[in-house]
């Protein structure tokens, strides 16, 4: 299944120009949350949950394969799961 909202968030907000939005991952998430309506945010949260369910044994590898060119959570001292949990929690706010 494609993940268009997750693709957009990572590709447009957490790419090499992330600092345009904020200096932290949390800050970038907050900018995204302010720019999108609740329906888009809820859809992104659903995609996060689906991505995790789809990759129970290879989450890091699957995330890296999909997003290595834009974002690597290890550069922020997080595992993929920690990043996705943080993203979901901040979107829930």
Query: What pLDDT is recorded for position 18?
Result: 83
pLDDT values of the chain reduced to their tens digit, one per residue, 93 residues: 589 999 999 999 998 888 888 989 999 999 999 999 999 999 999 999 999 999 999 999 999 999 988 899 999 999 999 999 999 999 998
**Count of structural domains, the chain:** 1
Task: Give the model's pLDDT for residue 92.
Answer: 95
pLDDT in the model for residue 1: 57
The pairs formed by 5-10 with CB atoms below 8 angstroms and a separation of 24 or more are 5/40, 5/43, 5/44, 5/47, 6/44, 6/47, 6/48, 6/51, 7/66, 9/44, 9/87, 10/67, 10/70, 10/71
pLDDT for 54: 95
pTM here?
0.92
| Domain limits for position 43 | 4-92
């Amino acid at each position: 299944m494609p993940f268009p909202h997750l693709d957009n968030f990572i590709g447009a907000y957490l790419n090499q120009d992330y600092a345009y939005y904020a200096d932290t991952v949390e800050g970038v998430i907050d900018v995204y949350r302010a720019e999108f309506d609740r329906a888009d945010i809820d859809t992104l949260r659903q995609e996060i949950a689906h991505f995790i369910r789809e990759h129970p044994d290879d989450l890091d590898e699957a995330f890296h394969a999909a997003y290595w060119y834009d974002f690597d959570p290890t550069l922020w001292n997080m595992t993929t799961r920690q990043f996705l949990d943080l993203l979901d929690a901040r979107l829930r706010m």
